[in-house]
Amino acid sequence: MDAFYASVELLRYPQLKGLPVVIGGSRRAPDDELLARHAGLPLHEIPVAEFPLLRDYVGRGVITTATYAARQFGVGSAMGLMKAARLCPQAILLPVDFAEYRRFSKAFKDVILSIAPVMENRGVDEVYIDFTEVPGGQREGGRVLARLIQKSIFEATGLTCSVGVAPNKLLAKMASEFNKPNGISIVQPEDLQTLIWPLACRKLNGIGPKADAKLKGLGIETLGQLAAQSLPWLVQHFGKSYGAWLHAAAWGRDDKPVVTQSEPVSMSRETTFDRDLHAVRDRQELGAIFTDLCERLAEDLQRKGYMGRTVGIKLRYDDFRIATRDHTLALPVDDAAALRQAAGQCLKRVPLTRRLRLLGVRVGALVRTREWVAAAGDPLARELLLRPAPQTSEQDADPYTASLF
DNA sequence: TCTGGGGTCCTAGGACCC
DNA sequence: TCTGGGGTCCTAGGACCC
C-alpha cells in the first residue's frame, strides 16, 4: 500500500491532500485538542490552519509514515520527529491510529482474497499473492490481474497500492518498489542484469544496515557486484547460511512459498518513556507502567486465544543498549498477574544501575487456549501441546540413512 | 537532533538426557 | 580414571522487516 497510514488519514482529512503530512509520535495525540475543539464538526470541515504542526511538537518518537509531499523535504519513515521538524517545520503532524489502519488493512486484504485466495500477510500494509492459479493471472505477464487488484482495492477503500509481479517473492518485492505510487512493475528472469544488478545491495529484502556496511567494506556496492562473487568467498565472509543466501538472492533465486496460514510465535508490549526512568528513583512510576504492560499483554493473549509459557522482559537503557531476560514456566499462562509475577522475576536478573528509556514484556512458546483447555484432563496431550512439532528431516525419509543410524 | 512498536528468524553456549 | 557423541531445550543477543 502506498504511504499507508498517511493515506488512511487523508481519507478522513481530505483537506490535507497535497500537503506535507507526517504520522508519528508515540506520545499523547497531538490532535486530541483539535478534535475536542471541533467536536460536532465533520472531520473534513476542520480548517487546515487548525491542524498541529511538526514544528510545535516536543517529545520523543519517530515518523511512521510521511505523505509524498512531505518526502520531498527529505523526511521519511523511522526519522526522529525532532530532526524531521527541522527539515519540514510546516508539515502537519498526526498521531498514529492503529485501530483505524487495521480496519483498512482487513478491507484491502479481503478484496485481494476475493480475487486471489493464495495470499501471505506481510504486516499491516503488505502482502504476497500467488498469481499462478488465478484465472487470467498470466495475461500480459500478470499486468491484467495486477490492474484488477489495484482497481478493486481503490473502489473498496479509496487507497492506492503498487504491485510487483515476478517469478518469486524476492523479485516481486523489489519490483513493487519500481513504480510507486499506484504503479505496476513486472520483472522477468531475463531482466536480472538490467533491472536488478544495478541496484544498491541495501534494496534487497534481507540485507539490512549491518550486512550492507560489511559488503561496502569489502568493496561491494551493487547487487551485480554481489552476484559476481563466488559462493565459497561469500560463505567465508558471511557464514554458511547467510553467505549461501546472499549468493542465491543476488542471482534472483528464491523458492520460498507464499504461506497463507501461520501461527504466532510470540506477543509483546513495550513502551518508551517520556523521560528516562531510574529503577530506584522512579520505582513507583516504573512499577505502574510494568503492570500496565502486563495487563495489556494479557488482554492481547485472551482476545486472540493464546497462552504462553516463556515470559520475558526487554529493557533499553539510556545509552540505547538493550537487555533481555526470559523465563520458561512449567505451564502456559494468559493472565496479567502471572505475567507480572514471571516478568518481575526476570527484572531481578538484569542490571538496573543505568537509567531506562524503554520497558517491554513478551510472551512466547504459545499454545492455543482452546487446545490447552481441551487437553485439561490428559497429561500426555498436554505434554504434546507444550513441545513444538519435531522437524522432520530429509534423513528420516531416507531408508538407507535411517537404517545406518 | 537522538533514534517507536510489534514481530520473525538465527546463532551460540550451557544444561541435561540417552 | 578418563572420557564419546547426538539431541533437545533454554537463554541472551542481534539482524532484519513492516
Reported as a single tens digit per residue, the pLDDT across A327-379 is: 999 999 999 999 999 999 999 999 999 999 999 999 999 999 999 999 888 88
What is the average per-residue pLDDT within A314-321? 97
How high is the mean pLDDT of chain A? 92
A2 known member of a binding site: no
Q: In CATH, what is the architecture of A4-96?
A: 3-Layer(aba) Sandwich (3.40)
Least confident segment among A24-33, A136-145, A262-271, A298-307: A24-33
Question: Exposed, middle or buried, A341 (CB in 10 Å: 0-12/13-18/19+)?
Answer: middle
Q: In CATH, what is the architecture of A266-386?
A: 2-Layer Sandwich (3.30)
CB-side neighbour CA atoms (13 Å) of A169: 18
Least confident segment among A71-80, A168-177, A196-205, A244-253: A71-80
User: Which pLDDT value is given to residue A379?
Assistant: 84
Least confident segment among A28-42, A66-80, A263-277, A284-298: A28-42
What is the average per-residue pLDDT within A245-262? 96
Reported as a single tens digit per residue, the pLDDT across A286-298 is: 999 999 999 999 9
Whether the CB of A316 is less than 7 Å away from nucleic strand C comes out as: no
- Our measurement of CA A70 to C1' C2, in angstroms, reads 71
User: Which pLDDT value is given to residue A405?
Assistant: 28
Residue A134 is given by DSSP the state S
Whether residue A379 contacts residue A397, with contact meaning beta carbons closer than 8 Å, is answered with no
- CATH 3.30.1490.100 intervals, chain A: 266-386
User: Which pLDDT value is given to residue A388?
Assistant: 63
Query: Any residues with CB less than 8 A from the CB of A142 and at least 6 apart, and which?
Result: A131, A165, A186
Q: Does domain A100-187 have CATH number 3.30.70.890?
A: no
| Planar angle of CA A352, A356, A361, nearest 5 degrees | 90
- CATH 1.10.150.20 intervals, chain A: 193-250
Chain C bases near protein Cβ (<7 Å): 8-18
Question: Exposed, middle or buried, A213 (CB in 10 Å: 0-12/13-18/19+)?
Answer: exposed
Residue closest to C14, CA→C1'? Answer: A322
Query: Comparing A29 with A48, which gets the higher pLDDT?
Result: A48
With CA of A300 and C1' of each nucleotide, the nearest comes out as B6
What is the average per-residue pLDDT within A109-138? 97
With CA of A324 and C1' of each nucleotide, the nearest comes out as C12
- Our measurement of CA A81 to C1' B4, in angstroms, reads 11
SS3 A1: coil
Indicate if the pLDDT at residue A396 is higher than 80: no
Provide the pLDDT confidence category of residue A205 given band limits of 50, 70 and 90.
very high
User: Which pLDDT value is given to residue A332?
Assistant: 97
Q: Is A45 tagged catalytic?
A: no
Whether the CB of A217 is less than 7 Å away from nucleic strand C comes out as: no
With CA of A87 and C1' of each nucleotide, the nearest comes out as B1
- CATH class, domain A193-250, is mainly alpha
Dihedral angle over CA of A146, A149, A153, A156, nearest 10: 150
User: Which pLDDT value is given to residue A35?
Assistant: 65
- CATH 3.30.70.270 intervals, chain A: 100-187
Whether the CB of A388 is less than 7 Å away from nucleic strand C comes out as: yes
| Planar angle of CA A210, A125, A146, nearest 5 degrees | 110
Joined grid coordinates for residue A274: 517520556
Q: Which of A50, A120, A126, A221 is catalytic?
A: A126
- Our measurement of CA A147 to C1' C7, in angstroms, reads 51
User: Which pLDDT value is given to residue A320?
Assistant: 95
Q: Checking DSSP bridges between strand A21-24 and strand A92-94, what pairing results, if any? A: parallel
Whether the CB of A124 is less than 7 Å away from nucleic strand C comes out as: yes
Provide the pLDDT confidence category of residue A404 given band limits of 50, 70 and 90.
very low
Indicate if the pLDDT at residue A202 is higher than 80: yes
| Planar angle of CA A265, A102, A5, nearest 5 degrees | 115
What is the average per-residue pLDDT within A233-254? 95
Indicate if the pLDDT at residue A257 is higher than 50: yes
Joined grid coordinates for residue A76: 521519511
Indicate if the pLDDT at residue A389 is higher than 60: no
- Our measurement of CA A395 to C1' C1, in angstroms, reads 38
Whether the CB of A401 is less than 7 Å away from nucleic strand C comes out as: no
With CA of A214 and C1' of each nucleotide, the nearest comes out as C15
User: Which pLDDT value is given to residue A26?
Assistant: 56
- CATH 3.40.1170.60 intervals, chain A: 4-96
Distances (CA, A) of A339 to A269, A311, A313, A331, A336: 12, 7, 10, 12, 5
